[in-house]
Every structure is written in structure tokens, then in C-alpha cells.
């Protein structure tokens, strides 16, 4: 693992719609590795690696945006009230920290509640940025913040904010570093706004008009105490998506990925995710339809400030995808 690259990817600021900082990090990493880099009108970064000819147009997408918060108002005492950008749960917020684009750090806490038998709601939470009123608050209405948590390595596990989906961005960049000559034209899309609308991948897929699209994202696991039963575990290999809440994978894409895993000799799992979806759900619906699938990196505590993946799963995902674009 290139921990320095993953450090830069996970720590860069990039809530949905405000991806310029993370886009610069990715652009810097991919520019020497591809034939062409462009930014589309909504902000997705597209890195193109031309094939030897006679192949397909294959789109590989990882989203570069992250979940976060947006300030809705500042109260009389200077506490920020906020709404969520993507799937932020109040349960994972209390005592946590958020950082805003201008560097301001805030602590999230909760109002006193008489009835603590129920979990708090988002409107009972506030962010303390050290202000005493609306006039001296260092951030204002409409500004966005993201969780502040470092990347740490614990054994072979990687723990950080925003592994969803910076670990997918890491996989695409790692592929580019190891890519052999292939016949297919490959379009590496680092999409915007996945966490709120999937709009970046949708519009990028329209422009690219691919023959096949594959999303690379994280998925939940069924291997924590009283987890929703699910046949995906951390450390047992990349998960090839069969179905999630937004799509059924195209059978040919699913089979291509299974065959690639077997040829590459990497462990793999089949994923049926009951809640949530990925860029693949949007990409399969552009134009006349695009055969789409998804390779997922198993991840515990998705959308919390401390997401966890296993480093071997990441390496195996890279190997699986390299084989998929070799054969494709
Ligand atoms: Zn994601
Ligand atoms: Co997500």
C-alpha cells in the first residue's frame, strides 16, 4: 500500500458539490499516467487511457465526494446548526469533529434531552466553533464541513474518515500505475456528488457513451456484532455486486468480474446489499442503457468518521480489475 497517497486522498476536503481540493490531489496523481485528463461541466475528473484498438469503451468510476454537513443557521450563542450532505447519522456525530473549507474546526455535540431512550435527531445537534454569536462565527450559512479524522493503520486494517470512496479512488490510481497495454479504451472517472444524487457519474457516462461501466465503491459487511446478516466479510476479498437497493448488476459484467477474479487468483465474495447503491445505478440508465456492475471493497462502519477496510482486500481489488480490463 502507498500510505502517503492514501493519506493525501483521505485527508483532502471534498463534500458533495465542493470537490475541487480532492480533484487537484487526484489530477496530480493521474496526469503522468494517462493520455488525457479533463474535467467535465459538473466537476468530475475523467482520465483517459487509449487502447491498442479493436476493443470496447470501458468506464471505471470511483466517487471523489464525501459525506458531510452544511450550516443552515448560526444561533444567538454562536452555535452552528446544520443539515446533512449525504448519509450522516446523528449516532456517529456526537463528540466528533468537523472541518470546514477555510480550516475552521468544530466539535459536534447534542442538546440536553429529558428522554434519552431514543437516539437524538439531527436538529438536536450543534457545532461549536468557538463563536459567541452569529457575528463572530468563522463560518456561515451554506458552508460545508466534513469529518476530521486521520488515516491510521492497525495491523492490516486501514481506518480513516472517507474511505467511502477515497479507497475506490486509490484503487483506480493504483490500476493506472500497473496497467499493461490493453486493447480497450479506458475511461477512469472520479465522480462528483455520488453521496447526494449520483449526478457526476450519470453525466460523465452520458458524455463517454461507454460499452460497459463498472463502479468501484465500498460495501457494508455482515461480520460485526448483530450486524444485518450479509455474506460479505472484511478481509475475504473484493465483493462483486449482484444487487443493491438501486440496481441489479448486468449478468455479463458480473460474470466478467467473477472470471477475472478466478484468473487473477484473488479471493472474492458475492455482494447483495440491502440498503444503499453506487454510481453504477446511475450509469446503467444513461442513453439506451449501459451494461453496468460494481466491485466493492468490504468496509465496516460505512458513513461513520472511522471507516475500516482491510489492506489485502484493496490490493486484491486492484488485481481483479487489472485482469478484467486485460480480458474484458
Ligand atoms: Zn460510496
Ligand atoms: Co457513501
CA of 245 to the centre of ligand 2 (A): 13
Catalytic annotation, pick one of 143, 194, 195, 307: 194
CA of 195 to the centre of ligand 1 (A): 7
**Residue 192 confidence (pLDDT) above 90:** yes
pLDDT tens, residue by residue, 102-142: 999 999 999 999 998 999 999 999 999 999 999 999 999 99
| Ligand with an atom nearest the CA of residue 64 | 1
**327 pLDDT band (50/70/90 cuts)?**
confident
Average pLDDT value for residue range 40-59:
96
As a whole number, the mean pLDDT across the chain is 97
Distance CA 328, CA 326 (A): 6
- pLDDT above 90 as % of the chain: 98
194: annotated active-site residue: yes
**Residue 291 confidence (pLDDT) above 90:** yes
- At residue 176, φ and ψ (nearest 5 deg) are -60, -35
- pLDDT above 70 as % of the chain: 100
| Ligand with an atom nearest the CA of residue 297 | 1
Domains of the chain are 3-66+161-327 (3.40.630.10), 68-147 (2.40.30.40)
User: Is residue 143 within 8 Å of residue 172, measured between CB atoms?
Assistant: no
Q: What is the pTM of this model?
A: 0.97
Distance CA 56, CA 47 (A): 16
CA of 195 to the centre of ligand 2 (A): 5
Average pLDDT value for residue range 267-275:
96
**310 pLDDT band (50/70/90 cuts)?**
very high
Amino acid at each position: 500500500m502507498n500510505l502517503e497517497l492514501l493519506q493525501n486522498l483521505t485527508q483532502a476536503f471534498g463534500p458533495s458539490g465542493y470537490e475541487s481540493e480532492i480533484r487537484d490531489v487526484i489530477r496530480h496523481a493521474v496526469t503522468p499516467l494517462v493520455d488525457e485528463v479533463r474535467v467535465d461541466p459538473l466537476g468530475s475528473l475523467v482520465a483517459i487511457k487509449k487502447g491498442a484498438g479493436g476493443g470496447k469503451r470501458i468506464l471505471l468510476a470511483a466517487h471523489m465526494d464525501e459525506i458531510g454537513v452544511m450550516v443552515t443557521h448560526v444561533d444567538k450563542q454562536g452555535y452552528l446548526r446544520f443539515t446533512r450532505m449525504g448519509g450522516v447519522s446523528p449516532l456517529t456525530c456526537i463528540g466528533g469533529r468537523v472541518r470546514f473549507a477555510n480550516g475552521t474546526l468544530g466539535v459536534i455535540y447534542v442538546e440536553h434531552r429529558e428522554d434519552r431512550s431514543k437516539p437524538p435527531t439531527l436538529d438536536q445537534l450543534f457545532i461549536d466553533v468557538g463563536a459567541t454569536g452569529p457575528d463572530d462565527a468563522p463560518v456561515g450559512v451554506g458552508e460545508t464541513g466534513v469529518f476530521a479524522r486521520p488515516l491510521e493503520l492497525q495491523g492490516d486494517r486501514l481506518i480513516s474518515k472517507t474511505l467511502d470512496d477515497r479507497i475506490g479512488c486509490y484503487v483506480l490510481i493504483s490500476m493506472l500505475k500497473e496497467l499493461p497495454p490493453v486493447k480497450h479504451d479506458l475511461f477512469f472517472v472520479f465522480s462528483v456528488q455520488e453521496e447526494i444524487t449520483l449526478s457526476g457519474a450519470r453525466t460523465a457516462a452520458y458524455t463517454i457513451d461507454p460499452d460497459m461501466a463498472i463502479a468501484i465503491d465500498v460495501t457494508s459487511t455482515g461480520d460485526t456484532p448483530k450486524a444485518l446478516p450479509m455474506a460479505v466479510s472484511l478481509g475475504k476479498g473484493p465483493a462483486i455486486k449482484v444487487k443493491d437497493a438501486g440496481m441489479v448488476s448486468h449478468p455479463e459484467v458480473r460474470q466478467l468480474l467473477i472470471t477475472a477474479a478466478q484468473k487473477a487468483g484473488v479471493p472474492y465474495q458475492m455482494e447483495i446489499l440491502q440498503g444503499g447503491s453506487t454510481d453504477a445505478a446511475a450509469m446503467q440508465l444513461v442513453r439506451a442503457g449501459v451494461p453496468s456492475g460494481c466491485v466493492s471493497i468490504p468496509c465496516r462502519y460505512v458513513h461513520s468518521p472511522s471507516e475500516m477496510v482491510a489492506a489485502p482486500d484493496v490490493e486484491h481489488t486492484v488485481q481483479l480489475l487489472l485482469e478484467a480490463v486485460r480480458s474484458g
